[in-house]
Amino acid sequence: MKRIYLDYAATTPTHPEVVKAMLPYFTDAFGNPSSIYSHGQEAKGALEEVRDKVAAFINAGSDEVVFTSGGTEADNFAIKGVAYANEGKGNHIITSSIEHHAVIETCRFLERRGFEITYLPVDEYGLVDPADVKAAITDKTILISVMHANNEMGTIEPIAEIGKIAQEAGIYFHTDAVQTVGHIPVDVNELGVNLLSMSAHKLCGPKGVGALYIRKGTKLISFMHGGEQERKRRASTENIPGVVGFGKAVELAQQEMSEETQRLTYLRDQLIKGLLERIDRTRLNGHPLKRLPNNVNVSIDYVEGESMVLNLDLEGICVSTGSACSSSSLEPSHVLLAMGLLHEQAHGSLRFSLGKWTSEEEIGRVLEVLPQIVAKLRAMSPLLKSQR
């Protein structure tokens, strides 16, 4: 059976051209970029070339990009880095209630150590209101962290508007752009951010590599101590094959993004329309328009998300309920609950995330199979029986 992979927000298949670009850096060009002989300098050259490429992609300067082990590290670095470097100024951080765990758990960690955190609410579409951000600012606020687009329901947040508010108030602003870099245009100056997190494996690059954009002049401390790599901002021998793969993924995204956006938006809308038409008591989660071109998130009444995922898996279709990171937990998604969904609606949610190799036939197959699965599960559902 040919697998249909519709979980690109969890991770993407590594593009064959990315793998090809990485391979020489495991074998012939394996040098350590800190070594001064030519073998090391070859690796150093590759590292700096990718830094230029990633920086240009988000309209930043090359010396403003620090490579990390992924999005989680970039989020931790940004938030803890600013928190501990600016403790003398204040201890208040503003974030939203729909952030990825990499942000939420970092904030909770700081909360246990005396920082004050405001978790802003969102509306029914998952949008943060910039007016709420403004109202939450106190003379102790040192950082605002709001994600660019949500990984579960795909809503794109008003980052540029929040950026203006942060700038006017003289407060550092971080955005987690893990789900947007390579998918929609990202320009650090248009967004008005001081810090921005990225991860390669969400854009057909390898896992375990990402970057943090740090605007020149931003005061933050490092928390990886050791050698002098990354201009003393992050010690550890650089993951050269990973970084090279990240660079290739960025290059491909740059070439293909506008066409891919059109193609995926069409497929996304076909899927949304088909699901709402073919399965009664289904609702779309997230904003209908301000959403990622590859995200579909629906709640289907009277069925459990896990049961649908397992039944779709038997048909060779990979999707998720909530985010992959929390899919092993039975807790309903904090994102959907923050948007006002009832526990049972959040439990009955499915996330489809489309990507490079998603075809119209695959969407057609989902639309054929899922209504049958839902009908079968509803026939056995105690939830539905109790309604009758």
* Per CB under 6 A, 70 contacts ligand PLP: yes
What is the nearest approach in angstroms of ligand PLP to the Cβ of residue 147? 6
Give the span between the Cα atoms of 328 and 285, in whole angstroms: 21
Stretch that binds ligand PLP, among 67-75, 113-121, 349-357, 363-371 (CB under 6 A): 67-75
* Per CB under 6 A, 72 contacts ligand PLP: yes
Stretch that binds ligand PLP, among 125-133, 172-180, 248-256, 308-316 (CB under 6 A): 172-180
What is the nearest approach in angstroms of ligand PLP to the Cβ of residue 197? 7
* Per CB under 6 A, 151 contacts ligand PLP: yes
Which residue in the block uniquely carries the two structure tokens 């508010």? Answer: 165
Q: Looking at 58, 66, 165, 178, which residue binds ligand PLP (CB under 6 A)?
A: 178
Q: Looking at 71, 130, 241, 245, which residue binds ligand PLP (CB under 6 A)?
A: 71
What is the nearest approach in angstroms of ligand PLP to the Cβ of residue 250? 15
* Per CB under 6 A, 33 contacts ligand PLP: no
Q: Looking at 15, 80, 100, 248, which residue binds ligand PLP (CB under 6 A)?
A: 100
Query: With helix as H, strand as E and coil as C, how does the chain read?
Result: CCCEECECCCCCCCCHHHHHHHHHHCCCCCCCCCCCCHHHHHHHHHHHHHHHHHHHHCCCCHHHEEEECCHHHHHHHHHHHHHHHCCCCCCEEEEECCCCHHHHHHHHHHHHCCCEEEEECCCCCCCCCHHHHHHHCCCCEEEEECCCECCCCCEECCHHHHHHHHHHHCCEEEEECCCCCCCCCCCHHHHCCCEEEEEHHHCCCCCCCEEEEECCCCCCCCCCCCCCHHHHCCCCCCCHHHHHHHHHHHHHHHHHHHHHHHHHHHHHHHHHHHHHHHCCCEEECCCCCCECCCEEEEEECCCCHHHHHHHHHHCCEECECCCHHHCCCCCCCHHHHHCCCCHHHHHCEEEEECCCCCCHHHHHHHHHHHHHHHHHHHHCCHHHHHHC
Q: Looking at 199, 222, 295, 307, which residue binds ligand PLP (CB under 6 A)?
A: 199
Total residues at interface with ligand PLP (CB under 6 A):
15
What pairing do the DSSP bridges indicate for beta strands 317-318 and 4-5? Answer: parallel
Q: Looking at 210, 241, 293, 332, which residue binds ligand PLP (CB under 6 A)?
A: 210
* Per CB under 6 A, 128 contacts ligand PLP: no
Stretch that binds ligand PLP, among 65-73, 237-245, 286-294, 346-354 (CB under 6 A): 65-73
Which C-beta is closer to ligand PLP: that of 145 or that of 299? Answer: 145
- Verify whether residue 325 is a known catalytic residue: yes
Stretch that binds ligand PLP, among 68-76, 111-119, 228-236, 355-363 (CB under 6 A): 68-76
Q: Looking at 14, 175, 179, 194, which residue binds ligand PLP (CB under 6 A)?
A: 179
Which C-beta is closer to ligand PLP: that of 171 or that of 196? Answer: 196
Residues that bind ligand PLP (CB under 6 A): 70-72, 75, 100, 102, 147, 151, 176, 178-179, 199, 201, 210, 325
Residues assigned a catalytic role = 325
